[in-house]
Amino acid sequence: MANTSTRTLRLLSLLQNHRFWPGTELAERLGISVRTLRRDIDRLRELGYPVEAQRGTDGGYQLGSGAVLPPLVIDDEEAVALAVGLQVAAQGAVEGIAESSVRVLAKLVQVMPARLRRRVEALRAMTVPADWGGPATEGVDPGVLTEVALACRDSEQLRFSYVTANGRHTERHVEPHRLVCPGRRWYLVAYDLVRHDWRSFRVDRLTAPTGTGSRFRPRALPAPDAAAFVRAGLDNLPHSYRVEVLVNAPAATVRERIGRWTTVEEIDAEHCRVRMTTDSLDWPTLALGSLDAEFQVITPPELLTRLHDWAVRFTRAGEG
């Protein structure tokens, strides 16, 4: 029989894997008596884990939602940040960890108190995934992110302070629509009630979001979805680089991997042309590398230099 500490961790893991465990089956899995199982359940409760019991012939146990988080040594904001990161990973942003991310996210949300689950669920429901695959570089306050998500979900007008691209501080009053996460930044798509037009706002430039309590009827977005709206806006900005690459892969395959934030044109059954606009050459390098296909850079020449720099670093890493 395992020692008490090891057995308690095993019990916690089993409870997190299923919504409900019959008591006899759970005791059998642990190789202990039903009486010992009850003592172990009491030990988990003393540690702060909300274990619920169902008595009777069909009795058993399940891990419920508690008034506080179990002792994970993280606070509310960190718990929401963890859930957000797992959600992004569960969407397949990193190959090979999507399935495990879903399992961990399910365990975390299961034991979250209601106030945190509400924030996480709002963020999940009000975020439009954008399969871009670039690295995250701009930090966003999870409290700001979830406050905006709640306003989107509840169709509640929102006020916030915003810093424009030229550094000007403004006050905004909007009807929030959706959040979009292309990979490097979070964007809020909203109807600006002062300027009477649709806008996208970088969430890392947004502070002090406050719901006004005023509800609104959602307007029709002038784009297929929020991600398409953000992409159209970014394409019209004066970017530093406009990238064009010929890829030795079917257009459908390339669209599936990086098509959300690039334009992919079919040349023939095995070749396509990829165009993208960016203010950094790192994410095109990463995106092209993820295709697992030969490619030829047409423009800009600076991309060839960046590819060479990456190749040198990777080669040195392999030699070490």
Instruction: Give residue 101's pLDDT band: very low, low, confident or very high (50, 70, 90).
Output: low
- Burial class from Cβ neighbours inside 10 Å (0-12, 13-18, 19+) for residue 155 reads middle
Confidence (pTM): 0.48
pLDDT at 175: 96
- 257, pLDDT greater than 60: yes
Condensed to tens digits (0 to 9), the pLDDT of residues 164-211 reads: 877 889 999 999 999 887 656 788 999 999 999 999 998 888 999 999
Distances (CA, A) of 145 to 3, 129, 228: 43, 15, 20
- 279, pLDDT greater than 70: yes
Distances (CA, A) of 141 to 34, 137, 168, 206: 46, 13, 20, 9
Distance CA 60, CA 77 (A): 33
pLDDT at 74: 53
Q: How many angstroms separate the first and last alpha carbons of the chain?
A: 44
State the DSSP code for 270: T
Query: Are the CB atoms for 63 and 17 separated by under 8 Å?
Result: no
Among 138, 212, 119, 227, residue whose Cα is nearest residue 177:
227
75-79, 97-101, 183-187, 271-275, range with greatest mean pLDDT: 271-275
More confident residue, 54 or 130: 54
Instruction: Give residue 78's pLDDT band: very low, low, confident or very high (50, 70, 90).
Output: low
pLDDT at 161: 94
pLDDT at 320: 58
- Give me the percent of the chain exceeding a pLDDT of 70: 72
- 265, pLDDT greater than 90: yes
pLDDT at 52: 87
